[in-house]
Amino acid sequence: MSKPFKVGFAAGCAAATLTSAAMYLLGALSGVTPLPQALQEPILGVMPGPAFGFLIDRLQHTGKVVEEMGLLLALILGGGLLAGLLALADRRRQIPSKSIVDAAALYLVVGLVLLPLAGWGPLGLGQGITVAVVWALLAAVYGVTLEICAAGLAPSPTSASGPVFSPARRRFVFGLPAAAALLGLGGIAIFKVPGWLTALAGGVGLKPAGPSPFITPANNFYLVSKNFSDPALRAAAWSLMVGGMVEQPHRYSYNEFRGLAATTQITTLECVSNLVGGNLISNGRFSGVPLQQLLAAAHPNAAAAAVNFGSADGFSEGITLEAVMSDPQIMVVHSLDGAPLPDSHGFPARILIPGHYGMRGPKWLTSISVAKSVGGGFWEGQGWNHDAVVKTFSRFDVPQNGQTLKARTPFAVAGVAFAGLRGISAVEWSHNGGASWNGAQLVGTPMRGVWTLWTSSWTAAKQGTYQLKVRARDGQGTLQDPRAQSSYPLGASGYHTINVDVSD
């Protein structure tokens, strides 16, 4: 590897790091989506479904953080590679080209390759002139920073009396690349680390220290999103369009939508990527407008057979018109636990389809379109099952895996079970790895579309390690599937299994 390339690559990585931080800063000021977020969907679109399912099962929703970090690293290394190639093209000076050439090279690569790949068109003009202007500024940051960093890394010119740069000045200039890189990393940390930590904490759901409450507090409700950065919509600027194959299309403002006659129902939501015994399941009290009520007011055409949804984050999903008109529990909801939906849960409105995994219910809803056929859903495009009917699920809340209990002392055993619209008829648990089963007590009256809390008591006769398993039967008496399967593409199955130690 030639010295000019090494100098250019090192300087380019430092410049690209600082430019990446500037990308997030200008993005926050201008509303232009940073490249890692813009490239997310194209990458998911070409990723084979089984590979995506494998990553979801292994990484769960830390995968978004890993993906963004990987894309950032790729951008930084790409900036280094570009600078190295520019240096090779300018061997006589042994440093990369002048700032204007560096900036133009980055602008052309981003504007003619990456932005079109993101679906924004050449130079990002498909999203408006702002994108082109922002990336022109970022290219200038890259070009100027690269030139300064390269000057610090390149050998000093000499004269008869010695180096042109004094030792002190050379140390200062040599430190510029490191300073640029550190400044860039610090900027990235300021803009991204808090969000990454929130995604790592919130995306996996919050399992209670003890038995789950029947209604999950809104701040503990599990969070899952396909986005690096979710939309933050303002009520005053939001509207919901109900149109397509209807006789009376209508666009509802937020106040008009909130003024419609509303109903309240308790519904359990579970993510399709929830693992056996996982935390991506919560139970909430939702308020909103039955979807069939909105459609009845619009008068669908006789040839219509489907309802498709559009969201502010580009998410798409659809359902048959027959299913909507036969089920008043399918709702457009605007409230969770008596308060407006939090931004992260889809404010101002989201779709709620009980009995199906959460992937069927778009958040940040902006359009409801009646059509002849169901359009392609976002996750179905990755190979996940379209129907997404929840599988029977059960888990232990207490005791927890690895907990130590005392022998000959009664201990509470409790958890939740869920089977969607099929309901729950029984829960059974075992303390000996499934050799025998004990019936648990169901708390309250089981309801369709709502999880069931269960409880029991156990007294271990002697010390040792015990393997506990739990299984449920749905409302038809069908036993939960014991086969251990990953979440892709139908949802996970198997019995939640934990180990506890019993001591004297």
Q: Which two tokens stand for residue 483?
A: 């086969």
Residue 184 has which token pair? 């860039």
Domain boundaries, the chain: 3-202, 219-382, 393-503
From 46, 141, 35, select the one nearest 381 (Cα to Cα): 46
Cα–Cα dist 201/211, whole Å: 20
In whole angstroms, what is the distance from residue 112 CA to residue 118 CA? 11
What pLDDT, on a 0 to 100 scale, did the predictor assign at position 167?
Answer: 55
pLDDT of res. 135: 95
Query: Which DSSP helix (H) or strand (E) runs through 239?
Result: strand 239-244
The C-alpha atoms of residue 95 and residue 86 are separated, in whole angstroms, by: 8
The span from the CA of 152 to the CA of 173, in Å, is: 4
Size (the chain), residues = 504
The answer to whether the CB of 99 falls within 8 A of the CB of 87 is no
The number of angstroms, rounded, from the C-alpha of 92 to the middle of its chain's C-alpha atoms is 49
**Spelled out in words, what is the top-level CATH class assigned to the domain 219-382?**
alpha beta
Q: Could you give the CA distance from residue 220 to residue 210 in angstroms, rounded to a whole number?
A: 14
pLDDT of residue 210: 87
Neighbours of 401 (CB within 10 A): 12
What per-residue confidence (pLDDT) applies to 101? Answer: 86
Low-confidence residues in the chain, pLDDT < 70: 1, 49, 52-61, 91-98, 152-174, 198-208
Q: What is the pLDDT of residue 412?
A: 94
Return the CATH number of the domain spanning residue range 393-503.
2.60.40.650
pLDDT (tens digit, 9 = 90+) per residue, 366-419? Answer: 999 999 999 988 888 878 888 899 999 999 999 999 999 999 999 999 999 999
Same fold yes or no, 219-382 and 393-503: no
Q: Distance from CA of residue 108 to its chain's centroid?
A: 31
Q: What angle do CA 9, 13, 16 make, to 5 degrees?
A: 130
Whole-number pLDDT of residue 199: 63
Q: What is the pLDDT of residue 163?
A: 47
Please tell me the predicted confidence (pLDDT) of residue 193: 79
**SS3 letters across 98-141:** CHHHHHHHHHHHHHHHHHHHCCCCHHHHHHCHHHHHHHHHHHHH
